[in-house]
Amino acid sequence: MVGFAAETQEIERYACDKLQRKGLDMIVANDVSQAGLGFGSDQNAAWLLWRSAEGVESRAEAPQPKTQLAATIIQQALTLLSTKTPTNASGESL
């Protein structure tokens, strides 16, 4: 499950907290306070955070076209999906 967060301060810390609280596999956090990025712009930057065997990993994505960032987000989600153990409706490993 991938979540999204719009933050104005301490982006990585708040996103990590939300990742844990909501039980997400990955979260994409945007700094909505940065002028020229996000809302009303073709450019955006984000922090990607995801769960791994080592804990929580993160990567900052520099400002880039939204289409490029979307492709990066999808690729990271697919990478996580390929390493995830399949479970049944009760959450038990298959």
Looking at residue 94, its amino acid is L
Pairing mode, strands 26-31 and 55-65 = unpaired
Domains of the chain: 2-83 (3.40.50.10300)
35: left (phi over 0), alpha (psi -120 to 50) or beta: beta
* Of 63, 73, 72, 11, residue with least CA distance to 42: 63
Both structure tokens of 56? 């929580």
pLDDT-based confidence at 94, cuts 50/70/90?
low
Residue 58 has pLDDT above 70, yes or no: yes
Please report how many Cα atoms fall inside a 13 Å half-sphere around the Cα of residue 25, on the Cβ side.
Answer: 13
Both structure tokens of 22? 């909501």
Say if pTM beats, i.e. exceeds, 0.85. Answer: no
